[in-house]
Amino acid sequence: MDKKVLIVCETGISAALFVSKFMEKARDMNADWLVDYSPIHRLEKKLSQEDYEAIVLSPQVVRNEEKVRQLIEQYSHPCKILWISEKDFAYMNIDHVYEEVRRFKCE
């Protein structure tokens, strides 16, 4: 597995199409990625079960940034937090978000 990516949204409903298209893009690019998603209220459970290199947050969860950072620190995840811009989310700019995830390296 090259990368483990978790896409987080407010309730899980709003990001369903975005996640589906992101997974399709990863498959089309032959990326060996585990792509998972979670509503914000299940984030702690997800982090306790898997080590993700990238946590990609939808615009709706911006207000939970501190909570996300605390959970990452609590579970000692060496991951990067990436924010999906409102414009990329609204227009389903999957290519741009995919490239952002592809380019970073965990340290």
Identify each DSSP E strand in the chain by its residue range. Answer: 3-9, 33-39, 54-57, 80-83
pTM of the model: 0.89
pLDDT score for 80:
85
Q: What is the pLDDT of residues 60-73, one digit of tens each?
A: 898 888 888 898 88
Q: What is the pLDDT of residues 29-48, one digit of tens each?
A: 999 999 999 999 999 999 99
For residues 21 and 71, give the distance between their C-alpha atoms in angstroms, rounded to a whole number: 27
pLDDT score for 68:
85
